[in-house]
Amino acid sequence: MPDLSAFPITKRWPARHPDRLQLYSLPTPNGVKVSIMLEEIGLPYEAHLVDIGRNESWTPEFLSLNPNGKIPAIIDPNGPGGKPIGLFESGAILLYLAEKTGQLLPKDPARRYETIQWVFFQMAFIGPMFGQLGYFYKFGGKEIEDKRPLERYRAESKRLLRVVETRLDGAPWIMGDEFTIADVSMLGWVRNLIGFYGARDLVAFDELERTPRWLDRCLARPAVQRGLDIPKRG
């Protein structure tokens, strides 16, 4: 049985199944990337709810695994060389799990790097820009009288959606006929933008043709539906 005692996070969130991958997360757009990925690839795991509303990601135990204090994070008891490994950053975790299992990442080297570039695109642009739009449109930022920040993130979010729209020309998925970690990385953020943030009209989402259909295809996948609710909120 793997020994995870070297990871202080397991003292606050004990592993009932230490032989399984340990997921520390919440069903946010970043969190569901990993739960969806795990459901898609069928790797056994144990999910632990980290309540960011109660600042649990800033506890010493969580910070010992991710010093940046953000979900998701994982411990894989069967890491490289058979030794446990802890990882944070959702994009890095997606890449690790894809390479570990040989799933959702093309084997052809050129297509592999092309897929990774779209994951980086999500990490660098879609996540930060959609998140800022959500703040200025729905949360504390909506009280700011100066609407230039909102307009900046609205315009940038619209632009990014149109980058995705162009990419999907003649293809069901970001990488053509193959569902990959590129789709996994983006779908939660697009869903959140038009759903939880309520910005569907603000970004003229229904003026797009391919992106809404792509999102519907993503959400029709059983593994995606399961992953969107993991870990279950208390």
Say if CB 84 and CB 37 are below 8 A apart: no
Q: Whole-model pTM?
A: 0.96
- What average pLDDT does the segment 121-146 reach? 94
Domains along the sequence of the chain with CATH: 9-103 (3.40.30.10), 109-221 (1.20.1050.10)
Residue 17 has pLDDT above 80, yes or no: yes
Asked if residues 186 and 119 have their Cβ atoms less than 8 Å apart, the reply is no
Segment 152-176 shows an average pLDDT of: 98
List phi, psi (to 5°) of 233.
-70, 145
pLDDT number for residue 1: 74
- Maximum CA extent, the chain: 58
56-85 pLDDT per residue, tens? 999 999 999 999 999 999 999 999 999 999
Contact 74, 14 (CB under 8 A): no
Given phi > 0 = left and psi -120 to 50 = alpha, else beta, which region is 140?
alpha
pLDDT band at 141 (very low <50, low <70, confident <90, very high): confident
Look at residue 200 and tell me whether its pLDDT is greater than 80.
Answer: yes
Q: What's the confidence (pLDDT) of residue 105?
A: 98
Question: What Å distances lie between residue 14 and 3, 9, 22, 57, 160, CA to CA?
Answer: 12, 8, 10, 15, 40
Write the CA distances from 176 to 170, 184, 185, 220, integer angstroms.
8, 14, 16, 17
User: Over the stretch 81-129, which tens digit does the pLDDT of each residue have?
Assistant: 999 999 999 999 999 999 999 999 999 999 999 999 999 999 999 999 9
Confidence of residue 2 (pLDDT cuts 50, 70, 90): confident
The per-residue b/e assignment along 142-168, b for 16 or more CB within 10 angstroms, e otherwise, is eeeeeeeebeebbebbbebbeebbebb
Mean pLDDT of the chain: 97
Of residues 180, 196, 195, 189, the one with CA closest to residue 157: 189
**pLDDT at residue 142, as a whole number:** 82
Stretch 31-42: mean pLDDT, rounded? 98
Confidence (pLDDT) at 41? 98
